[in-house]
Amino acid sequence: MSDREIWVAILILASITSGILYVAFGQITVRKLRKNPKTKDALGLECVSGWDIINVAQVFSLPRRWVRKIESSKFSFMYAHSTVLFENTTKFDRVLGCIFYWLLTLSGLFGALLVLLNYFGIFGQ
């Protein structure tokens, strides 16, 4: 098994795990938030179906200082509002969202990096 095959296998495993966590986080946490009248309008802009799942996970993953800075910008309507979400979620919801968000982000960046490295011929033939 070559280096490239090992890295691609890791990427596939991370992507599948990320997909499973996406569904789990959406069903466990975001579904509950969508039904709550206090939080259903605080989930951020949903460009495509399910994007609010990523918005909520992002709130739990980034440092609170950064999230507050985003909320005070003119593009705050695109992002979930952290204060309301932290009040209406459990520690488990926050940890699950954090793990999901970083696995999704890192697997996407890792895939792009593998494509770039392959383009430059780092892996050889």
Q: Where are the beta strands (DSSP E) in the chain?
A: none
Question: Is residue 124 predicted with pLDDT exceeding 80?
Answer: no
Between 3-25 and 51-61, two packed helices, what is the crossing angle to 10 degrees? 100
Question: Is residue 76 predicted with pLDDT exceeding 90?
Answer: no
pLDDT for 121 equals: 87
Supply the pTM of this predicted model.
0.88
Tens digit of pLDDT for each residue in 21-64? 999 999 999 999 999 999 988 898 888 888 999 999 999 999 99
CB within 8 Å of 69: residues ≥ 6 apart: none
